[in-house]
Amino acid sequence: MNAAIRAVVRSARYNDLAVIGVRYGYEGLIRGDFVDMDSTSVSNIIQLGGTILKSARSEQFRTAEGRAKAAANAKAAGIDALVVIGGDGSFQGASKLNEEHGVHVVGIPGTIDNDLSGTDETIGYDTALNTAMEAIDKIRDTADAHERLFLVEVMGREAGFIALETGIAGGAELILLPEALTEIQDIKAQLGEVFRFQRRSSLVVVAEGDETGGAYKLSENLKDDFSRYEMRVCILGHIQRGGSPTARDRVLASRLGSAAVQSLVDGHTNVMVGVIDNQIKITPMRNVWSKKKSINYELLELAKILS
């Protein structure tokens, strides 16, 4: 997110536009927590995880009164347009602000889950993938040394993008994700096959949103049939959301931050900027959450072939 903030500020300054940072997201908009920003306020942040502007969930912004207050504050501060970095919840809020109060809004897709239509990748996804992959590599050492079965749970909310790609990159024997329904009997059969070929260790990547109920629940359901193997569960959790961003994420965030400013200059509003097939694309915000983004089923097939 910091790389995107930097790009928004510097591109806006390049276009002779003033920039005001809103701290704590919509909560800060309601409180009027604003800070003037210039090129130097975003120096030395491209390599930092998180966001210098902080983030917060805002219950108040879900109400019409909260949004009215936010819009009034924005107008009083001379804010003509809002650049919102976030996922579908943030965009639904931005869209309402636009429809109810005429505030111009543009969204920048920022979520590790990568579950937004209108862009091939979201900011944070690649960093999360690499963090999860490195963790899996480390877990593999113990799995291998002790010949254990590891169930590693990754984030992604209701989507399996992180599970699919970290599973492939980490050489998982099995990948379980919400987009591919798998019966417990099939999981047992597939794991049985893995052990029949005398693998020294096994690692299953489970998406937190998988219908098995996550890694702990799955281990409960597997423990009787696989009691001869030592099984361990590892939930990767919030380490996936932090750390210095990868080069790929920094470049994506820089492109999207700049594109967001350009789209406002060009007169767009209530849209999200994304990158599709390496080209900047502008999508009406509504389409971002109303159209479900599909995982790449070819990758899922590939994972099966390679495991």
Min dist CB 56 to ligand F6P, Å, is 11
* Span near ligand F6P by CB under 6 A; candidates 22-30, 108-116, 226-234, 262-270: 108-116
Between residues 157 and 286, which has the closer beta carbon with respect to ligand F6P? 157
Three-state secondary-structure class, residue 74: helix
The SS3 of residue 67 is helix
Alpha helical stretches, state H, the chain? 2-14, 25-31, 64-76, 88-101, 125-146, 161-169, 184-196, 215-222, 247-265, 285-290, 297-306
Closest to ligand F6P by CB, 102 vs 237, is 237
| Residue span 182-211 as binding mask against ligand F6P, x where in contact by CB under 6 A, dash where not | --------------------------x---
Determine the Cα–Cα distance for residues 189 and 185; give it in Å rounded to an integer: 6
Among 111, 127, 254, 307, binds ligand F6P (CB under 6 A): 111
Distance from C-alpha of 53 to C-alpha of 130, rounded to nearest angstrom: 24
Strand-pair partners of 274: 281
Q: Beta strands 34-37 and 19-22: pairing type?
A: antiparallel
288: contact with ligand F6P by CB under 6 A = no
Whichever of 93 and 261 has its CB closer to ligand F6P, that residue is 93
- Catalytic-labelled residue, pool 16, 33, 88, 113: 113
Name the minimum Å distance from CB 89 to ligand F6P.
9
Residues with Cβ < 8 Å from 39, sequence gap 6 or more?
9, 10, 13
- Mark residues 147-166: x for contact with ligand F6P by CB under 6 A, - for none: --------xxx---------
241 near ligand F6P, rule: CB under 6 A: yes
Residue 113 designated active-site: yes
Q: Does 127 bind ligand F6P (CB under 6 A)?
A: no
Minimum separation from the CB atom of position 162 to ligand F6P (A)? 7
Chain length of the chain: 307
Q: Does 232 bind ligand F6P (CB under 6 A)?
A: no
Rounded Cα–Cα distance for residues 261 and 273 (Å): 10
Per CB under 6 A, contacts with ligand F6P among 1-40 are none
Nearer to ligand F6P, 101 or 157 (CB): 157
Q: Which is nearer to ligand F6P, 240 or 307 (CB)?
A: 240
**Residue 9 token pair:** 């500020």
Nearest distance from C-beta of residue 102 to ligand F6P, angstroms: 29
Compute the distance between CA of residue 294 and CA of residue 4 in angstroms, rounded to an integer: 25
Torsion sign (Cα): 99, 101, 104, 107: negative
| Residue 75 to residue 103: CA distance in whole angstroms | 8
Catalytic residues: 113
Residues binding ligand F6P (CB under 6 A): 87, 111-113, 155-157, 208, 241
